[in-house]
Chain A
Amino acid sequence: MLIISRKAGESFLIGDSIEIVILESQSEKITVGIKAPKDVTILRKELYEIQKANKESAYLTDSGSLTSLKNILTKNN
């Protein structure tokens, strides 16, 4: 991983078209601004992880796994 130190007001570039600006830095939290083309999706990583888990809940689980789930849970209780 590339590690860069920046102060508030400074920025760095990713490729030609994406600029990350450090706006504010406090002890617990930093605020960044992102300048990027409209077709670039920007998502807080936890939202991406939540979407992924939701999709797995929707598509990984078939009726067979529901039956196995029921078996394992009723056995455990």
Chain B
Amino acid sequence: MIINTRDFGHVEISQEDIIYFPEGIYGFENTKEFVILKIDDETQFYCLQAVNEVYPRLVITNPEIIMPGYSPAIGKEILDKLGAKSPLELRFFVVAVIPANIRDITVNLKSPIVLNIRKNIAMQVVLDNTDYKIRHRIFSESEGG
């Protein structure tokens, strides 16, 4: 099927690419179907694009490139909601906010998007009892640029 995207015009996707968010994403609770589109081959940033509309399109990334070893504990209740038997079926993404000054980019490590890679079901999970921040800077403020 062909979808209309915010950044790449018309893009062909297959039915198997569609990720179902039963609860939507915070702020976009009514949008249930998204696809992950690669921005390029070099960076691990992706567009989380709504399937049926141009908006919303969020920018997400692999948290491993920002915080190696990032693997928050996911409880049974969340595993059940995602239809996952084990945390090994999960993959994490984090939402990035990219302001005009790129060096002020932040990622939300406190509430990752958790994807069941086997079933393509995902949700945004709020981690309790962590020091992870909703706006975690990638570049420190003191660095030039």
Contacts and interface: CB of A to CB of B under 8 A. Distances in A.
A65 B47 CA distance: 13
B25 to A, nearest CB: 6
A67 to B, nearest CB: 9
B110 A72 contact: no
Contact of B26 (A50, A59, A69): A50
Contacts of A77: 42
Interface string B115-145: 0000000001010000000110000000001
Given A57-B97, A66-B39, A74-B42, A51 B27 contact: yes
Interface in A43-61: 46-47, 49-61
A14 interface: no
A22 B23 CA distance: 30
B98 A53 contact: no
A61 B47 CA distance: 10
Given A47-B26, A50-B124, A57 B40 contact: no
Interface string B85-122: 00000000001111110110110101100000000000
Given A50-B124, A56-B99, A60-B99, 10 more contacts: A46-B110, A47-B126, A50-B26, A50-B111, A53-B108, A57-B58, A58-B28, A60-B100, A61-B59, A73-B45
25 contacts: A46-B111, A46-B134, A50-B108, A53-B108, A54-B25, A54-B28, A54-B58, A55-B27, A57-B95, A58-B27, A58-B28, A58-B55, A58-B58, A59-B56, A60-B97, A60-B98, A63-B7, A66-B7, A66-B39, A68-B102, A69-B105, A70-B39, A72-B103, A73-B45, A77-B42
Interface of B: 6-7, 25-28, 39-40, 42-43, 45, 47, 55-60, 95-100, 102-103, 105-106, 108, 110-111, 124, 126, 134-135, 145
